[in-house]
């Protein structure tokens, strides 16, 4: 390292550039970060208030399958309420939030023109990407954790601490149920790695933050649509969203983890591939923004 310091200015060390905490503060001061995190914290409260308007009438009893039962059971306890919050967010909201954190982080610096000044510091390119990725993932995790924690607290205060119920299996005791809900949140975090990978890659390839975030969400939706077409057969196993509902296996007793494992393989493989391409590309490309 002595060689490295001698080449640079006094006090400069590549490994000290863009400290994680500096990047955390860079992002924290942004309105979109505050809004996204605030919304994740507010969502359970909004849902809670919406349930208060429930007149007791049941106008759509055919919710269908495990999910329909989640709606019916949502007010049966804090755990079920949290589960409901997670289930309604998993399909779209979480995807958008994760895509926002991961797709926007590099692309927005490029669009502001501040990316080239960071690179001229110089922050080594791989380090820049790594720090940005870690912080974006951390914010995504915080968003998910906020949703879960606020859901648990608000739901438990309002509906009480009761076993986790579902129609696919018998009720699960509150202690074990908490573990299941945390496990579901954990699995959602794993599947969101795919979104994180896609959005981050697009964010590196384009200078337009909207393109990166929107692109990742569009790919996710396209994949969800294709996954509905059973005629595609085994190709569907390759779709990034194919295992996104596998968390429902955790509602079963005992918990079914085979699909979770496959989903985790799919997520880790996609994320690694995307991040690998992102690093490979970013460390070689001409930064023209």
Nearer to other proteins, 220 or 282 (CB): 282
Whole-angstrom distance, CA of residue 251 vs CA of residue 165 = 8
Rounded to a whole number of angstroms, the minimum distance from the CB of residue 160 to other proteins is 14
**Which part of the chain contacts other proteins (CB under 8 A), choosing from 82-90, 142-150, 211-219, 240-248?**
240-248
Whole-angstrom distance, CA of residue 203 vs CA of residue 216 = 9
Q: Residue count at the site for other proteins (CB under 8 A)?
A: 76
Alpha-carbon Rg for the chain, nearest whole angstrom, is 21
Task: Record the tokens describing residue 182, joined without a space.
Answer: 């945390």
Q: Residue from 41, 45, 66, 145 that binds other proteins (CB under 8 A)?
A: 66
**Which part of the chain contacts other proteins (CB under 8 A), choosing from 95-103, 143-151, 215-223, 261-269?**
261-269
Can residue 75 be called a binding residue for other proteins (CB under 8 A)? Answer: no
Can residue 253 be called a binding residue for other proteins (CB under 8 A)? Answer: yes
Q: Measure Cα distances from 122 to 14, 93, 277 in Å.
A: 8, 36, 22
Can residue 17 be called a binding residue for other proteins (CB under 8 A)? Answer: yes
Nearer to other proteins, 49 or 168 (CB): 168
Rounded to a whole number of angstroms, the minimum distance from the CB of residue 77 to other proteins is 11
* 289 closest CA partner among 100, 120, 123: 120
Nearer to other proteins, 101 or 154 (CB): 101
Can residue 230 be called a binding residue for other proteins (CB under 8 A)? Answer: no
Nearer to other proteins, 110 or 199 (CB): 110
Q: At what angle do helices 78-90 and 31-52 cross, to 10 degrees?
A: 130
Rounded to a whole number of angstroms, the minimum distance from the CB of residue 11 to other proteins is 4
Calculate the CA 186 to chain-centre distance: 10
**Which part of the chain contacts other proteins (CB under 8 A), choosing from 73-81, 143-151, 204-212, 249-257?**
249-257
Q: Residue from 133, 249, 274, 278 that binds other proteins (CB under 8 A)?
A: 249
Rounded to a whole number of angstroms, the minimum distance from the CB of residue 79 to other proteins is 13
| Cβ(104)–Cβ(202) below 8 Å | no
Task: Record the tokens describing residue 177, joined without a space.
Answer: 């149920």
DSSP state of 184: H
**Which part of the chain contacts other proteins (CB under 8 A), choosing from 85-93, 144-152, 215-223, 259-267?**
259-267
Residues 149-188 that bind other proteins (CB under 8 A): 163, 167-171, 173
Calculate the CA 256 to chain-centre distance: 22
Nearer to other proteins, 46 or 283 (CB): 283
Can residue 59 be called a binding residue for other proteins (CB under 8 A)? Answer: no
CB 101: neighbour CB atoms within 10 A? 29
Residues 111-140 that bind other proteins (CB under 8 A): 112-126
Query: Concatenated DSSP letters for 159-180?
Result: H-S--B--SSS--B-HHHHHHH
The 3-state DSSP class for residue 228 equals: helix
Whole-angstrom distance between the N-terminal and C-terminal Cα of the chain? 31
Rounded to a whole number of angstroms, the minimum distance from the CB of residue 95 to other proteins is 18
């Amino acid at each position: 390292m002595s060689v490295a310091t001698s080449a640079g200015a006094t006090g400069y060390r590549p490994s000290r550039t863009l400290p994680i905490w500096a990047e955390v503060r860079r992002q924290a001061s942004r309105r979109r970060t505050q809004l996204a995190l605030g919304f994740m914290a507010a969502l359970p409260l909004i849902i809670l208030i919406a349930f208060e308007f429930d007149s007791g009438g049941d106008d759509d009893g055919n919710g269908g399958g495990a999910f329909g039962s989640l709606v019916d059971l949502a007010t049966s306890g804090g755990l079920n309420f949290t589960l409901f919050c997670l289930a309604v967010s998993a399909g779209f909201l979480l995807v958008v939030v994760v895509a926002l954190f991961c797709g926007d982080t590099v692309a927005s610096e490029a669009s502001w023109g501040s990316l080239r000044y960071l690179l001229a510091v110089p922050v080594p390119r791989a380090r820049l990407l790594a720090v940005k990725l870690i912080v974006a993932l951390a914010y995504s995790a915080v968003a998910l954790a906020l949703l879960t924690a606020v859901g648990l607290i608000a739901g438990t205060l309002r509906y009480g601490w009761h076993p986790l119920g579902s129609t696919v299996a018998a009720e699960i005791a509150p202690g074990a149920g908490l573990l299941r809900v945390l496990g579901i949140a954990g699995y959602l975090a794993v599947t969101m790695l795919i979104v994180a990978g896609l959005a981050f890659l697009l964010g590196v390839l384009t200078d337009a933050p909207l393109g990166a975030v929107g692109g990742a969400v569009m790919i996710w939706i396209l994949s969800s649509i294709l996954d509905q077409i059973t005629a595609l057969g085994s190709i569907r196993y390759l779709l990034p969203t194919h295992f996104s509902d596998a968390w429902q296996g955790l509602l079963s007793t005992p918990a079914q983890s085979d699909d979770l494992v496959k989903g985790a393989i799919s997520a880790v493989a996609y994320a690694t591939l995307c991040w690998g391409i992102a690093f490979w590309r970013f460390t070689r490309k001409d930064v023209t923004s």
